[in-house]
Structure 1
Amino acid sequence: MRVLVTGVSGFVGGHLAEHLLDSGDLVVGLSARGVWPKELAHLSRQVRIEPCDLAEASESDLVDLIGRKQPEAIYHLAAQANPQASMADPRGTWALNLGGTLNLLEAVKATGLPLKVVLVGSGVSYGNPGPEHLPVSESCPLRPNNPYAASKAAADLLGIQQYLSHGTDVVIARPFNHAGPRQGANYVLGGLARQVAEVELGRRARIEVGNLDVVRDFTDVRDVVRGYRLLAQKGASGEIYNLGTGQGTKIADALAILTSLARAPIEVYVDPARVRPVDQPLLVADSTKLRAVGWAPAFSIEQTLADMLQYWREIVARET
């Protein structure tokens, strides 16, 4: 299958490109910077990356690009994907997450090509569901509480509107928290794994954490990208599919797993500055709908955290 991946140079985009290549797909990527980061340099041999900022691109340029590449599927991952960063830059977040999606879908419509768009939303768009909505199914009301969540919810609605109004073949994936090797330290598990690696090497005396009582449904990124490809193959047009393990993990328990793997004693300090002003206490997915088309997670949280810690050990060891 010929595929186009927006946001290919990001954390999830890199893993998706690897999975697609392993599955025999021909992959072209879009990235605002148009270059591979060092940790994804190996992909440059098989994946051509095109510079394209979806928030700024004209429809004619996008139509030309899609027409030249002739993809059978587009995976739309390009986004400002950090909720905390969205609080600092709401306008930029909306411009890319909603405006970029509108630019892409309008270009897809204009080409008239029979292709499928896998539009990646976010489970945080559900906000802070009441106990009657847990675990969270696709019928749960959307109550986003930060610009990232709101802009992703709006992009989902845009995808549904494009399907209903124009017949665009859009399927929406709504992943919950995910993690895995190469995840940045600006995300909770990536940050904890990096800090543990730094303590092991004597680079810091302790690790600093925020709210450890938060419960999240963490899915390994390698399972997440398998779900995306499955939706490109079997997802129903105009439908939304939650993607998550269905199991909640308290941050304190994830930290306990990491400290049990550590090669040195770990002192933990709760830093009030790391506690978010808006933090859902519990968010767990009901992914029954996605499981019905053949998806199931393969990685345990223990394996995910072990792989993340090993990744950060290698990164920290190379730093001077």
Structure 2
Amino acid sequence: MRALVTGASGFVGWHLCEHLVAAGDQVVGLSASGRWPEARAGLSRSVRLEAVDLADVAEEVLADLIRRKRPEAIYHLAAQSNPSRSVDDPRGTWALNLGGTLNLLEAVKAAGVEPRPRVILVGSGVCYGNPAPEHIPVREDCPLRPNNPYAASKGAADLLGIQHALGHGADVVIVRPFNHAGPGQSPSYVLAALALQVAEVEAGRKARVEVGNLDVVRDFTDVRDVARGYRLLAQRGRAGEVYNLGSGRGTKIADAADLLASMARVPVEVHVDPARVRPVDQPLLVADSSKLREATGWEPEFPIERTLADMLDHFRGGLSA
């Protein structure tokens, strides 16, 4: 399969590119920087990376690229993906998350390629906001109640995708992944922050692990399972449909911290830092992914214990380098 991946140099992007290459796909990546992270420089041998800023690209330039590459599947991952950062920069978040999606979908339409490429539009489970108890686990028909600019912009981009599917016959499949994690994730996300700090305590660089709200429950899926789910949707999803992607298992942050502490090579103290408690923290968010499972046969293969162990090993390697 010929694949185009936007946001290819990001955390999920390069995991997806690695998965697609391993599956035998021909992959072209788009990235605002046009550069792979140093740790993934080897991907340049198998994935051509083009410098394209989706928030600021001419429609004809992008349409011409689509005509030349003729992708069968376009995985749209490019986004400002940090909810906390979106509060500080709402305009930049909307410009990329909604504006970039509009630029891509209009370019696909203008390219006029037949057969039309399938667009896997990556949304987010956080667009459901703080669901009422009767909506847990969260199905795709749960009302959208976003409580930060990231969540709102992703929900709006989903509606744009549905509009293009219904109004223009675009082959758009929307996927809403819930929280995901894995080796290489930025420590601006909670599990990566915990794993890095445990590695720093082991290395004698920190006295203890600092955390925010330990009572929050999230549905964490390994990024490698997420990447596999995206490709399965490219093969078996239905145009115009929305699919939740999550393990279906809720993990309390306190339990994740305890698991990481139990893997540590030295005793680890965990301390709650009020400054790390976000102003808007959803207490419970767990996915119902039965629609995805029925459509594709997807099942998560990486338990949370394996994900945390691999993340901890990743940070150990970085600190010893």
Instruction: State the match for 2:193 in structure 1.
Output: 191
The alignment's TM-score, normalised by the length of structure 2, stands at: 0.98
1:58 aligns with 2:61: no
**Are the equivalent residues in 2 in contact too, given 1:194–1:316 (CA < 8 A)?**
no
SS of alignment partner, residue 208 of structure 1: strand
Instruction: State the match for 1:298 in structure 2.
Output: 301
The alignment's TM-score, normalised by the length of structure 1, stands at: 0.99
Instruction: State the match for 2:86 in structure 1.
Output: 86
Instruction: State the match for 1:10 in structure 2.
Output: 10
Q: Whole-Å Cα distance in 1 between the matches of residues 11 and 218 of structure 2?
A: 19
Deviations 1:153-172 (A, max 9, x none): 00000000000000000000
1:42 aligns with 2:42: yes
Q: Whole-Å Cα distance in 2 between the matches of residues 313 and 87 of structure 1?
A: 31
Deviations 1:233-280 (A, max 9, x none): 010000000000111000000001100000111111111000000000
Q: Whole-Å Cα distance in 1 between the matches of residues 272 and 319 of structure 2?
A: 23
Q: Whole-Å Cα distance in 2 between the matches of residues 112 and 166 of structure 1?
A: 11
SS of alignment partner, residue 102 of structure 1: helix
Q: CA RMSD in A?
A: 0.5
SS of alignment partner, residue 174 of structure 1: strand
Gaps of 5+ in 2: none
Instruction: State the match for 2:180 in structure 1.
Output: 178
1:311 aligns with 2:309: no
Q: CA deviation at 1:39?
A: 1.5
SS of alignment partner, residue 12 of structure 1: helix
Q: Which moved more, 1:278-287 or 1:62-71?
A: 62-71
1:176-255 to structure 2, matched below 5 A, reads 176-255=178-257
**Are the equivalent residues in 1 in contact too, given 2:257–2:270 (CA < 8 A)?**
no
Gaps of 5+ in 1: none
Q: Whole-Å Cα distance in 2 between the matches of residues 314 and 277 of structure 1?
A: 33
| Identical aligned residues as a percent | 72
Instruction: State the match for 1:116 in structure 2.
Output: 118
SS of alignment partner, residue 19 of structure 1: helix
Of 157, 163, 166 in structure 2, the residue corresponding to residue 164 of structure 1 is: 166
Q: Whole-Å Cα distance in 2 between the matches of residues 263 and 38 of structure 1?
A: 28
SS of alignment partner, residue 173 of structure 2: strand
Runs of 4+ in 1 over 4 A off after TM superposition: none
Q: CA deviation at 1:40?
A: 1.1
- Which letter does structure 2 place at the counterpart of 1:24? G
Q: Whole-Å Cα distance in 1 between the matches of residues 285 and 262 of structure 2?
A: 25
